[in-house]
Amino acid sequence: MHRSDPQPIDHDRRRLFTALLPPTMAVALMWIVLAFDLVYHLDLSRFGILPRTLIGLRGIVLAPFLHAGVDHLLSNTVPLLVLGWFTVYFYPKASGRVVLVSWLATGLWVWVVGRDSHHIGASGVVYALAGFVFFSGLFRRRIALMAVSLIVVFLYGSMWWGMLPLQPSVSWESHLFGGVVGSVMAWLYRRIPPAHVPPPRIYDDEDDELDGQDPPIAYQDPGDVQSPTPDLGPRLPPDPMYDPSRTSSTYPWG
């Protein structure tokens, strides 16, 4: 009798929590940096992205960990936790590359075409993760992943207005390029299987597949087997008066 194995269920439950660890650690580090900045008046915003300057290149790496204040970081905390958890849990094989490219590629584009001001904050990464999770569900056409895409629209559908230059104090460039980068990654990584989807099995059709095994049994069609001629008993000797040439080959009713 088949019994269900509890190990996969326990593994899934553990993944529910372990998938939240990476975004939680990243957000915790951001709060630590902000606390040092506020307590010691370090003015860390000067380490942000300053477009088209050599010194501004350091902001590509540092900007996501720098925020203007508590309200700024609060606005990014919950989206980072939710979208980061979605990315790690549903796309574990691609999550590392997605986060790294979201971080660096978004910052690089802001450095290339952004306004001449210091750009700080993790909102570019937030928009990249939102674009990746949303479009990944659409490109892969799986019901569960498309449901996650709808959740992203429900929770953060209004954030797409942040990609427009409506507020001078908001780095809409980070939002715009983050969304574009996330969407492109969703397309590029669409072939990477998501969680709980095993890779397709490959069957070898070469002749050595049966090496070491018994040869296959060949079955014969009964219609192909010739039945032995039945024994009709002793045959009579030929009639000496019978002449085959005088026999007509035409049937009487022909």
CA 113 – CA 51 distance, rounded (Å): 7
How do residues 2-35 score in pLDDT, each as one tens digit? 445 556 567 778 888 999 999 999 999 999 999 9
Domain covering 8-188 in this structure, CATH number: 1.20.1540.10
How do residues 49-99 score in pLDDT, each as one tens digit? 999 999 999 999 999 999 999 999 999 999 999 999 999 999 999 999 999
pLDDT at 247 over 50: no
CA 33 to chain centre: 33
**Three-class SS string for 231-246?**
CCCCCCCCCCCCCHHH
Contact 126, 79 (CB under 8 A): yes
Specify the pLDDT at position 243: 55
What DSSP state is assigned to residue 85? H
Contact 158, 58 (CB under 8 A): no
Compare 210 and 162 and report the one with higher pLDDT. 162
Two tokens, residue 31: 């709060």
Specify the pLDDT at position 254: 40
Domain regions of the chain by residue span: 8-188
3-state helix, strand, coil in the chain (%, to 5): 60, 0, 40
| Mean pLDDT confidence for 209-216 | 51
CA 187 – CA 138 distance, rounded (Å): 10
Look at residues 131, 137, 55 and name the one whose alpha carbon lies nearest to residue 99: 131
| Mean pLDDT confidence for 150-175 | 93
Please provide the average confidence, as pLDDT, over all residues in the chain. Answer: 84
